[in-house]
A and B are shown apart, each in its own frame.
Chain A
Amino acid sequence: MTLSPPPTAPAAMPRGRYLRVYWLMLRNSLIREMNFKANFLGWLAVEFLWFVGQIVFLEVLFSHVDNIGDWSKWECVLLIGTHQIIAQVFQAFFYVNLSELPDLVRTGRLDLLLLQPIDSQFAVSVRRFGFDSLVSSLVGFIVVGFSLYKLGIVPGFGQIAFYLAACALGLGVHYSILFGLATASIWIVRAQGLIYGYYNVFNVARFPADVFKGTFRFIFSWIIPVMLVANVPARLLARSFENPWPGLLHLLAATILVVGGTRLFWFFALRRYASASS
């Protein structure tokens, strides 16, 4: 590979270069992953078991009740399937990278990434890629399709487009929140706890938002807006008779806030960053 001399400032790099860098990263990590096939299959199994567990939980609940909030069983399955899609795509593209950020800080390897002539957030967010999670997200699509069939809904083209757009925004929310937490590792060296901790918060996203009330609902729909991540897109599909805009605009506003906020936080943190072990 021949590289032209690196431009001095990140801003000098044309957009096309980002795509090319990203493509190379994807290819490399796919090659690397295929070297560990057992591991790849293992992770697929883990994700699958986890997802089956969620469905079993719903099955158990709905063997005792008919509705949760005003959500029926198959609407809840649709919600969980939607969350599976978003969470797995998030895991495929960002999770590995963000969860390694604390390690990069601790070992001082972050220095190397910061020296690269690309945007620093881009550099730490997209180094690797988990192909297994992408496969797992297909399970989510299948489950969403099946619950639509059970609900007797045939979504229109516009609805699907809205749904996918809302899923993308949800992905942005998950990414930014975890990025913000990982950024905290610049102060709290061992931030792994934070990252695992976020998985607890993730759980909130899997349930109908109507169930939650008061301050709890406010916090998780505005400050840490995980509650919207899967609920908004799932509603768009399951409840075509509702006006889609309030939910969508809320999600859009929350995404902009959290994406912008965590980016500012990252630059603020970098100014405080004093390299380790050098």
Chain B
Amino acid sequence: MSRPAVLSPTPSIFAKVFSVGLQNTFVYRWNFLLRTIFGIVPLIGTLFLWRAIMEAGGGNIGGYEYRTMIFYFMVVVFVDNLISPTEDDWQVAADIRDGRLSALLLKPLNYLGYRFTLYASYRITYVAIIAVPIGGLLFFLRGFVVWPEHWMTWPLFFLSTAMAAGIQFLNAYILGLCAFWVLEVSTLVFIAFSFEYFLSGMVFPLDLLPPWLQGFVHWSPFTYQLFFPVQIIMERTSGQALWEGLAIQAGWLLLALIGARLVWRAGLRKYQAVGG
């Protein structure tokens, strides 16, 4: 369905949406702060756990030393906080379930663009607020930081992180859109999340998996939601493998985008506003 050109969304609309997103976050700043404090606990737990593991493994496990392993988890926590959608899937589902989507459809807005703007504003506020605790943590753990040697690592890391953000956002968006068909999406969201949690490298670096699983890791979309950008900044991937990885990541991003469009269209055909 193409809209008349006159009604195409203007940047100022998205600016408004962005600022609403910002305000929503600030209303619940306590929630925010406590979440962060609790978020640090498992990281400290991780420090202890891996120290014990490294002691048992003679100081080197799968090419990671204690220092690099801790740095790995620092980057994972940072990138995860930076790009993981927190409530976007629930909100999309709620828009559909509560019939609020009808009001949004009448506005000169592209829903995907609208959701993405909200996502971006949530992420930016979140990062701005946790900058202090994260900075403190970085300082506390500064001994573990291994800065990349090549300057090219930085732009590639940003590119890959941006693509990972895109994949994660679209993933959440598509899951939310499932509310067109099922009333309760939470089980779907959690099933997807359990795969994501273990297969994106949040619990352990994926290269610790046995060799016969490395082919799966190479092609799996979960790898490119988090693990891959972390490998880039740690300079554990280079040359051809790096470019190939970026290409696969771009492929998944494109597929997710196409998927999101298709699901949205199919969903709209199914959509009946409830109570709207």
Contact = CB atoms under 8 A, between A and B. Distances in A.
B184 A197 contact: no
A241 interface: no
Contact of A64 (B32, B187, B208): B208
A6 interface: no
15 contacts: A42-B191, A49-B195, A50-B194, A53-B198, A57-B198, A60-B204, A61-B204, A69-B52, A190-B28, A196-B35, A196-B38, A200-B38, A200-B41, A200-B42, A216-B45
B129 to A, nearest CB: 12
Contact of B37 (A43, A191, A197): A197
Contacts of A223: none
A192 B34 CA distance: 10
Nearest to A208: B52
Interface stretch (B53-61, B219-227, B254-262): B53-61
Contacts, number: 105
A133 to B, nearest CB: 13
Contacts of A190: 28, 30-31
Interface of A: 36, 38-39, 42-43, 45-46, 49-50, 53, 56-57, 60-61, 63-69, 188-194, 196-198, 200-201, 203-204, 207-208, 210-213, 216
Contacts of B34: 188, 193-194, 197
A43 B187 contact: yes
Given A46-B187, A211-B49, 5 more contacts: A43-B187, A50-B194, A64-B62, A211-B52, A216-B48
Nearest to A41: B187
Given A190-B31, A200-B38, A200-B42, A42 B49 contact: no
B39 interface: yes
Interface of B: 28, 30-32, 34-35, 37-39, 41-42, 44-45, 48-49, 51-53, 56-57, 61-62, 182, 184, 187-188, 190-191, 194-195, 197-198, 203-204, 208-210
Contacts of A38: 182, 187
Contacts of B31: 188, 190-194
B226 to A, nearest CB: 15
A56 B187 CA distance: 21
Contacts of A192: 31
Contacts of B190: 42-43, 46
Contacts of B62: 64
B184 A36 contact: yes
B187 A45 contact: yes
B93 to A, nearest CB: 14
Contacts of B28: 189-190, 193
A69 B50 CA distance: 10
Given A50-B194, A200-B38, A66 B48 contact: no
Contact of A197 (B39, B52, B210): B39
Q: Main SS of chain A's interface residues?
A: helix
Contacts of A216: 44-45, 48
A14 to B, nearest CB: 39
B39 A200 contact: yes
A104 B252 CA distance: 42
Nearest to A184: B34
B35 A42 contact: no
B61 A197 contact: no
Contact of B198 (A43, A45, A56, A213): A56
Contacts of A61: 53, 204
B68 to A, nearest CB: 14
A46 B38 contact: no
Contacts of A56: 198
A196 B191 CA distance: 17
Contact of B61 (A43, A65, A207): A65
**Which of A50, A196, A197 has most B Cβ within 10 Å?**
A197
A196 B32 CA distance: 11
Nearest to B205: A60
Contacts of A211: 48-49, 51-52
A46 B204 contact: no
A225 to B, nearest CB: 14
Contacts of B51: 211
Contacts of A63: 208, 210
Closest 9 CB pairs of A and B: A42-B187, A197-B38, A193-B31, A193-B35, A65-B56, A49-B194, A53-B198, A211-B52, A46-B190
Contacts of B37: 197
Contacts of A50: 194
A174 B188 CA distance: 26
A25 B265 CA distance: 43
A216 B45 CA distance: 8
Contact of B32 (A43, A189, A193, A204): A193
Contact of A68 (B42, B53, B209): B53
Contacts of B35: 193-194, 196-197
